[in-house]
């Protein structure tokens, strides 16, 4: 697609700084976000997780069959991808430590239409975690506890900020409810995710994604081969998707089959497939939760742009 340069895409750095100084919601969001980071980190350390430093460039990244522009850099004639997610690195990481996490910066050059969603940036951070030999339910259970722990502590520490920004915020009840994509489509139609989020008053799990809708690395359900052993968490009150995750494919033949099914080129996964062919990959499950979206939800903010400094809104230029 040709990118049209528009006049309004000029960066106005002074305007940006003045906005930060005038509008205290930026400062408030950063206070809450700093606690989200600290609380999540403590929670995972207590559960025996090891924090890994994130990878920004690699010869391989998430294929992410979504509508985003490619982001590559040339280095001495070689091609590096900028991380869209650390899924492949996590599958290797769990061979070194069983339980790992990273606050991973992701670059996804989203189309400018996504600016209206209120929940898309092109440069965001996800708390990305993976556990060796875990099942889907283990990760869902862990994330319910993490979300409850973070929200409970934030409500206790900052009652005034929550009253000011998101007075209807509640500590969710465990277990969160679950609905399969098939069931959700039957009840709500094709726009099921939006409707589900708008109707919900507590976070809700969407499970069993159709195989053609997701990436090759989410594990195929052997008992229901047209679906995956994966999940999304949907925030209530219309805040949309919070988490994606699932069990992973780790067997060479199955990975090859899934890459082909997706219509992807096997050569692009050479480095990864070599490891899989040697039999090094192990069963695992994991997920990623967007930090800016978590901040937006907790404060009930209209747009994700408020949740960080130097936010990059799809289609706009910014410092």
Interface positions with ligand AMP (CB under 6 A): 85, 108, 110, 120-121, 124, 126, 241-244, 288-290, 292-293
Name the residue nearer to ligand AMP (CB basis): 144 or 292. 292
Instruction: Read off the tokens for 132.
Output: 């060796």
Q: Which does 130 bind (CB under 5 to 8 A by kind): Mg ion, ligand AMP, none?
A: none
Name the residue nearer to Mg ion (CB basis): 64 or 319. 64
Q: Which does 83 bind (CB under 5 to 8 A by kind): ligand AMP, Mg ion, none?
A: none
Distance CA 106, CA 86 (A): 8
Distance CA 319, CA 294 (A): 23
Q: Which residues bind to Mg ion, rule: CB under 5 A?
A: 244
Distance CA 104, CA 122 (A): 13
CA distances from 214 to 54, 64, 195 (A): 23, 8, 20
Whether a cis peptide bond, with omega within 30° of 0, leads into 175 is: yes
Q: Which does 296 bind (CB under 5 to 8 A by kind): ligand AMP, Mg ion, none?
A: none
Distance CA 116, CA 112 (A): 8
Q: Output the smallest distance, CB 251 to ligand AMP, in A.
A: 22
Q: Whose CB is nearest to ligand AMP?
A: 290
Distance CA 165, CA 173 (A): 21
Q: Output the smallest distance, CB 287 to ligand AMP, in A.
A: 8
Name the residue nearer to ligand AMP (CB basis): 105 or 252. 105
Q: For tokens 């930026």, what's the residue?
A: 26
Q: Output the smallest distance, CB 293 to ligand AMP, in A.
A: 4
Q: Output the smallest distance, CB 241 to Mg ion, in A.
A: 5
Contact by Cβ (8 Å): 177, 204:
yes
Name the residue nearer to Mg ion (CB basis): 109 or 171. 109
Q: Which does 272 bind (CB under 5 to 8 A by kind): Mg ion, ligand AMP, none?
A: none
Radius of gyration of the chain (CA): 20
């Amino acid at each position: 697609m040709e990118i049209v340069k528009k006049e309004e895409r000029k960066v106005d750095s002074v305007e940006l700084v003045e906005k930060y100084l005038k509008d205290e919601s930026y400062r408030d969001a950063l206070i809450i976000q700093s606690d989200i980071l600290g609380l999540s980190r403590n929670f995972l350390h207590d559960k025996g997780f090891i924090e890994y430093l994130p990878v920004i460039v690699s010869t391989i990244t998430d294929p992410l069959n979504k509508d985003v522009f490619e982001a590559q850099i040339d280095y001495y004639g070689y091609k590096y991808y900028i991380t869209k997610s650390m899924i492949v690195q996590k599958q290797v990481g769990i061979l070194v430590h069983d339980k790992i996490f990273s606050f991973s910066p992701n670059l996804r050059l989203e189309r400018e239409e996504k600016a209206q969603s209120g929940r898309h940036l092109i440069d965001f951070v996800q708390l990305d975690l993976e556990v060796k030999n875990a099942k889907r339910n283990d990760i869902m259970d862990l994330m319910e506890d993490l979300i409850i722990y973070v929200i409970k502590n934030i409500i206790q520490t900052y009652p005034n900020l929550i009253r000011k920004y998101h007075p209807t915020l509640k500590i969710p009840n465990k277990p969160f409810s679950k609905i399969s994509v098939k069931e959700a489509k039957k009840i709500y139609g094709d726009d099921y995710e939006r409707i589900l989020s708008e109707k919900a008053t507590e976070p809700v799990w969407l499970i069993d994604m159709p195989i053609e809708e997701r990436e090759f690395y989410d594990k195929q359900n052997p008992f229901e081969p047209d679906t995956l052993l994966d999940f999304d968490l949907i925030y209530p009150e219309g805040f949309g998707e919070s988490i994606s995750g699932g069990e992973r494919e780790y067997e060479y033949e199955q990975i090859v089959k899934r890459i082909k099914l997706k219509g992807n080129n096997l050569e692009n996964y050479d480095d990864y497939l070599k490891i899989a062919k040697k039999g090094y990959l192990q069963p695992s499950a994991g997920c990623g939760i967007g930090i800016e979206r978590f901040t937006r939800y907790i404060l009930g903010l209209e747009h994700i742009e408020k949740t960080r400094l130097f936010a990059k809104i799809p289609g706009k230029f910014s410092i």
